[in-house]
Amino acid sequence: MKNINIKIADITQEDVCAVVNAANSSLLGGGGVDGAIHRAGGEQILNECKSLRASSYPNGLPTGEAVATTAGEMRAKYVIHTVGPVYSSCKNRCEELLSNCYINSLKAASELKCRSISFPAISTGIYGYPKDKAAKVAYKAVKSFLGADDSMEVNFVFSSQENCDIFTDAIKELQSRD
Protein backbone atom coordinates (compact mmCIF):
# COMPACT_ATOMS: atom_id res chain seq x y z
CA MET A 1 0.00 0.00 0.00
CA LYS A 2 1.21 3.50 -0.74
CA ASN A 3 2.55 5.31 2.34
CA ILE A 4 3.61 2.05 4.00
CA ASN A 5 7.22 0.85 4.00
CA ILE A 6 8.52 -2.37 5.51
CA LYS A 7 12.18 -2.55 6.40
CA ILE A 8 14.87 -4.23 8.46
CA ALA A 9 16.73 -1.64 10.55
CA ASP A 10 17.57 -0.42 14.02
CA ILE A 11 14.66 1.83 14.90
CA THR A 12 16.92 4.16 16.89
CA GLN A 13 18.63 5.20 13.64
CA GLU A 14 15.45 6.15 11.76
CA ASP A 15 15.44 9.52 10.02
CA VAL A 16 11.77 10.29 10.59
CA CYS A 17 9.69 12.77 12.55
CA ALA A 18 8.60 10.23 15.17
CA VAL A 19 9.77 6.81 16.32
CA VAL A 20 7.44 4.71 18.40
CA ASN A 21 8.70 3.08 21.58
CA ALA A 22 7.31 -0.25 22.76
CA ALA A 23 7.36 0.95 26.36
CA ASN A 24 5.90 -0.31 29.62
CA SER A 25 3.44 1.64 31.73
CA SER A 26 6.14 2.97 34.06
CA LEU A 27 7.62 4.97 31.14
CA LEU A 28 10.93 4.64 32.93
CA GLY A 29 12.71 2.35 30.48
CA GLY A 30 13.27 -1.37 30.11
CA GLY A 31 14.79 -3.87 27.68
CA GLY A 32 14.25 -4.46 23.95
CA VAL A 33 13.30 -1.44 21.83
CA ASP A 34 12.67 0.62 24.97
CA GLY A 35 16.21 0.09 26.27
CA ALA A 36 17.70 0.81 22.84
CA ILE A 37 15.72 4.06 22.45
CA HIS A 38 16.65 5.35 25.90
CA ARG A 39 20.32 4.48 25.30
CA ALA A 40 20.38 6.13 21.88
CA GLY A 41 18.37 9.21 22.87
CA GLY A 42 20.08 9.86 26.19
CA GLU A 43 18.82 11.07 29.54
CA GLN A 44 16.58 13.82 28.14
CA ILE A 45 13.98 11.21 27.22
CA LEU A 46 13.99 9.69 30.68
CA ASN A 47 13.71 13.12 32.28
CA GLU A 48 10.68 13.97 30.14
CA CYS A 49 9.13 10.61 30.95
CA LYS A 50 9.60 11.27 34.66
CA SER A 51 7.85 14.64 34.25
CA LEU A 52 4.97 12.98 32.42
CA ARG A 53 4.63 10.47 35.24
CA ALA A 54 4.58 13.27 37.82
CA SER A 55 2.09 15.42 35.89
CA SER A 56 -0.25 13.38 33.67
CA TYR A 57 0.31 9.71 34.51
CA PRO A 58 0.91 9.19 38.24
CA ASN A 59 -0.28 5.60 37.89
CA GLY A 60 1.57 4.96 34.64
CA LEU A 61 0.55 5.05 30.99
CA PRO A 62 -2.39 2.69 30.41
CA THR A 63 -2.08 -0.10 27.84
CA GLY A 64 -3.00 1.08 24.35
CA GLU A 65 -2.42 4.77 25.03
CA ALA A 66 0.42 6.85 23.60
CA VAL A 67 2.35 9.90 24.75
CA ALA A 68 5.17 11.87 23.14
CA THR A 69 8.52 13.17 24.31
CA THR A 70 11.34 14.66 22.30
CA ALA A 71 13.92 12.21 20.97
CA GLY A 72 17.07 13.52 22.64
CA GLU A 73 20.15 12.68 20.59
CA MET A 74 18.38 10.55 18.00
CA ARG A 75 17.74 11.82 14.49
CA ALA A 76 13.99 11.68 14.98
CA LYS A 77 12.27 14.71 16.50
CA TYR A 78 9.93 12.79 18.80
CA VAL A 79 9.53 9.49 20.56
CA ILE A 80 5.97 8.32 20.94
CA HIS A 81 5.77 5.94 23.87
CA THR A 82 3.01 3.38 23.80
CA VAL A 83 2.29 0.36 25.95
CA GLY A 84 1.38 -2.84 24.14
CA PRO A 85 -0.69 -5.62 25.71
CA VAL A 86 1.02 -8.52 27.48
CA TYR A 87 -0.25 -11.45 25.46
CA SER A 88 -0.60 -13.86 28.36
CA SER A 89 -2.99 -11.55 30.19
CA CYS A 90 -4.84 -9.44 27.59
CA LYS A 91 -7.50 -12.15 27.04
CA ASN A 92 -10.27 -11.06 24.66
CA ARG A 93 -8.92 -7.50 24.46
CA CYS A 94 -5.54 -8.27 22.85
CA GLU A 95 -6.46 -7.14 19.37
CA GLU A 96 -8.28 -4.01 20.50
CA LEU A 97 -5.45 -2.94 22.80
CA LEU A 98 -2.71 -3.56 20.23
CA SER A 99 -4.72 -1.72 17.59
CA ASN A 100 -5.15 1.21 19.99
CA CYS A 101 -1.34 1.45 20.29
CA TYR A 102 -1.00 2.02 16.56
CA ILE A 103 -3.98 4.37 16.21
CA ASN A 104 -3.11 6.46 19.27
CA SER A 105 0.56 6.69 18.20
CA LEU A 106 -0.50 7.89 14.76
CA LYS A 107 -2.88 10.44 16.30
CA ALA A 108 -0.09 11.71 18.57
CA ALA A 109 2.26 12.01 15.58
CA SER A 110 -0.39 13.84 13.62
CA GLU A 111 -0.99 16.30 16.47
CA LEU A 112 2.75 17.03 16.42
CA LYS A 113 2.45 17.77 12.68
CA CYS A 114 4.63 14.77 11.84
CA ARG A 115 4.43 13.34 8.35
CA SER A 116 6.66 10.29 8.96
CA ILE A 117 6.67 7.67 11.69
CA SER A 118 8.48 4.40 12.34
CA PHE A 119 6.95 1.56 14.34
CA PRO A 120 8.63 -1.44 15.91
CA ALA A 121 6.59 -4.65 16.15
CA ILE A 122 4.88 -3.64 19.39
CA SER A 123 4.31 -6.43 21.95
CA THR A 124 6.03 -9.13 19.85
CA GLY A 125 9.16 -9.36 21.99
CA ILE A 126 9.10 -9.53 25.76
CA TYR A 127 5.29 -9.15 25.79
CA GLY A 128 4.89 -12.37 23.77
CA TYR A 129 2.24 -11.42 21.17
CA PRO A 130 2.42 -13.94 18.29
CA LYS A 131 4.19 -12.13 15.46
CA ASP A 132 1.82 -13.20 12.67
CA LYS A 133 -1.27 -12.17 14.63
CA ALA A 134 0.32 -8.86 15.65
CA ALA A 135 1.19 -8.17 12.01
CA LYS A 136 -2.43 -8.33 10.92
CA VAL A 137 -3.58 -6.08 13.76
CA ALA A 138 -0.82 -3.55 13.05
CA TYR A 139 -1.46 -3.46 9.33
CA LYS A 140 -5.22 -3.14 9.70
CA ALA A 141 -4.88 -0.31 12.21
CA VAL A 142 -2.42 1.64 10.09
CA LYS A 143 -4.43 1.09 6.95
CA SER A 144 -7.61 2.37 8.59
CA PHE A 145 -5.80 5.47 9.87
CA LEU A 146 -4.30 6.18 6.44
CA GLY A 147 -7.74 5.76 4.91
CA ALA A 148 -8.77 8.93 6.76
CA ASP A 149 -5.41 10.74 6.56
CA ASP A 150 -2.99 9.68 3.85
CA SER A 151 -0.44 12.42 4.49
CA MET A 152 1.56 10.20 6.88
CA GLU A 153 4.46 7.98 5.75
CA VAL A 154 4.50 4.86 7.94
CA ASN A 155 7.49 2.54 8.35
CA PHE A 156 7.27 -0.90 9.93
CA VAL A 157 10.78 -1.57 11.21
CA PHE A 158 12.00 -5.08 11.99
CA SER A 159 15.09 -6.21 13.79
CA SER A 160 15.65 -9.31 11.63
CA GLN A 161 14.87 -10.79 8.24
CA GLU A 162 12.91 -13.54 9.97
CA ASN A 163 10.62 -11.10 11.77
CA CYS A 164 10.19 -9.09 8.59
CA ASP A 165 9.24 -12.23 6.64
CA ILE A 166 6.66 -13.26 9.25
CA PHE A 167 5.08 -9.81 8.93
CA THR A 168 5.00 -9.73 5.14
CA ASP A 169 3.63 -13.27 4.91
CA ALA A 170 0.89 -12.48 7.43
CA ILE A 171 -0.29 -9.33 5.69
CA LYS A 172 -0.26 -10.73 2.14
CA GLU A 173 -3.87 -11.78 2.48
CA LEU A 174 -4.90 -8.37 3.78
CA GLN A 175 -2.89 -6.59 1.07
CA SER A 176 -4.64 -8.48 -1.68
CA ARG A 177 -7.81 -6.64 -0.63
CA ASP A 178 -6.19 -3.20 -0.93
* Residues classed as catalytic: 34
Angle between helices 32-41 and 43-55 (to 10 degrees): 110
Specify the residue, 109 or 157, whose C-beta has the smaller distance to ligand AR6. 157
Specify the residue, 151 or 160, whose C-beta has the smaller distance to ligand AR6. 160
Q: Is 131 helix (H, G, I), strand (E, B) or coil?
A: helix
**Contact flag: residue 85 with ligand AR6 (CB under 6 A):** no
**Contact flag: residue 170 with ligand AR6 (CB under 6 A):** no
Count, residues near ligand AR6 per rule CB under 6 A: 24
In angstroms, give the least distance from the CB of 177 to ligand AR6. Answer: 25
Amino acid identity at 5:
N
**Contact flag: residue 118 with ligand AR6 (CB under 6 A):** no
Specify the residue, 32 or 77, whose C-beta has the smaller distance to ligand AR6. 32
**Contact flag: residue 23 with ligand AR6 (CB under 6 A):** yes
d(CA 107, CA 105) in angstroms, rounded, equals 5
Region of 41-49, 103-111, 125-133, 146-154 interacting with ligand AR6 (CB under 6 A): 125-133
Contact residues: ligand AR6, CB under 6 A: 10-12, 22-24, 30-34, 36, 84, 120-127, 157, 159, 163
